[in-house]
Structure 1
């Protein structure tokens, strides 16, 4: 049976996790010669958007990401555009679970009109704990841009949750800024041929 038709019916965390891993391996991972956003070249490329922007993918991602978010967090946030579907689906999953947790989107440039805002969404009170979500963690550069803006706005950011950690320096860069990284998957989990996975 196709993963797309199975995904919404899965109740156990382990079943959701395995279905999501398979979706990422099939739809998000590519092997070749790629120039990454960090400026580095790599034989591995991960683009989570075909998964995170699909109904089945969001259904699988939302509860797994929500489980990883600090229970004290009042919002989840991330840098546009990779984090947009992540924060949205997690906020919805939280609402369905009766947990107050809003979504914030951090712009790459300030809004060109009106308030000139860097951050969009229902803003929590200054000092509120916010967890940052990331689709793919490489060197941590994109994620740290979001963290900087959120901290400048007065929010307490101590945690980042990523869908895939490429283990390419991101954890070290985040730790230097006092941030704890959690990852749903490592690169090896989705780059290994499916038939070789347990």
Structure 2
């Protein structure tokens, strides 16, 4: 069933698969969502950037995300903000500290300590990846209150994030993407 929402249609066609899959958490699922074919496409960026930017807190000075899934997202959300006249930078959170030089966990123009940062995530399942990034950002002295995701798989991520005083805002739930897939 094709959706009237072009972004949902892109996700249903290019990001969603039904079958038998092992997820990053180790759990099995009949649903697989890989947003990279959408986030790394020009059309996907064009459709996603303004929608995600709407969910970024107005006071945030940066958007951040765990590499690799969030890399394109933080870049083009910062770009969309600049086009709208808003000062919003992009940060990439490494999965482990840089093995040389400064040993940095964060890449990008770092805002002042204490600044509000919105975390971007492509897919939230258990919330583990988002929490890893949030912990690094908080350890660096930043305030993180919100995680903005493309898809919430509805598998406990919202509760796990809530336990860490984080709000999850997602563009879609897995049930919507699966229904649009048909």
User: So what's the TM-score if we normalise by structure 2?
Assistant: 0.97
5+ residue gaps, structure 1, are 1-14
1:48-77 alpha-carbon deviations (Å, 9 max, x no partner):
000000001011000000001111100000
User: Higher relative contact order at CA 8 Å, sep ≥6: structure 1 or structure 2?
Assistant: 2
5+ residue gaps, structure 2, are none
Structure 2 Cα separation of the partners of residues 88 and 163 of structure 1 = 15
Alpha-carbon shift at residue 193 of structure 1 (Å):
4.3
For the pair 1:61 / 2:48, whether they are aligned, the reply is: yes
**What corresponds to 1:89 in structure 2?**
76
**What corresponds to 1:8 in structure 2?**
none
For the pair 1:35 / 2:22, whether they are aligned, the reply is: yes
Q: 1:180-195 counterparts in 2 under 5 A? A: 180-194=167-181
Alpha-carbon shift at residue 192 of structure 1 (Å):
1.0
For the pair 1:122 / 2:112, whether they are aligned, the reply is: no
**What corresponds to 2:12 in structure 1?**
25
Kindly indicate whether the alpha-carbon contact (under 8 Å) linking 2:9 and 2:180 is maintained by their aligned counterparts in 1.
no
Alpha-carbon shift at residue 188 of structure 1 (Å):
1.1
**What corresponds to 2:99 in structure 1?**
112
Aligned pairs, how many? 179
- The 4+ residue runs of structure 1 with deviation greater than 6 A are none
**What corresponds to 1:164 in structure 2?**
151
Equivalent position SS for 2:6: helix
